[in-house]
Amino acid sequence: MTSKLSKSEQTLYMTLNLLLEIYELSDLFVSVCRFEEIVKKFNVEYHAGGATQNSIKIAQWMIQKPHNVGTFFGCIGKDKFGEILKQKAVEAHIDAHYYEQEEEPTGSCAACITGDNRSLVANLAAANCYKKDKHLDLEENWKLVEKAKVYYIAGFFLTVSLESILKVAKHASENNKLFCLNLSAPFICQFFKDNLMQVMPYVDVLFGNETEAATFAEEQDFETEDIKEIAKKAQALPKVNTKRQRIVVLTQGKDETTMAHEGKVETFPVLKIDPKDMVDTNGAGDAFVGGFLSELVQEKPLDQCVRAAHYAANVIIRRAGCTFPEKPDFN
**Residue 322: which region, alpha, beta or left (left: phi > 0; alpha: psi -120 to 50)?**
beta
Catalytic residues: 286
Query: How far is CA 287 from each of CA 37, 86, 306, rounded to the nearest angstrom?
Result: 29, 20, 12
Distance separating alpha carbons of residues 276 and 274, to the nearest angstrom: 5
Distance separating alpha carbons of residues 195 and 157, to the nearest angstrom: 10
User: What is the pLDDT, as a whole number, of residue 30?
Assistant: 44
Q: Taking the mean position of all CA atoms in its chain, how far away is CA 143?
A: 24
Give CA torsion, residues 309, 312, 315, 316, to 10 deg.
-100
DSSP 242: T
Locate all alpha helices (DSSP H) within the chain, ordered by sequence.
Answer: 7-23, 26-32, 35-41, 51-63, 80-91, 139-147, 162-174, 186-191, 193-199, 210-219, 227-235, 284-296, 302-316
Digitized pLDDT (tens) for each residue of the chain, 331 residues in all: 444 555 555 555 454 444 444 444 444 344 344 667 777 877 777 777 889 999 999 999 999 999 999 999 999 999 999 999 999 999 999 999 999 999 999 998 887 777 667 777 788 999 999 999 999 999 999 999 999 999 999 999 999 999 999 999 999 999 999 999 999 999 999 999 999 999 999 999 999 999 999 999 999 999 999 999 999 999 999 999 999 999 999 999 999 999 999 989 999 999 999 989 998 888 899 999 999 999 999 999 999 999 999 999 999 999 988 899 999 999 8
* Contact call for residues 294 and 258 (beta carbons, < 8 A): no
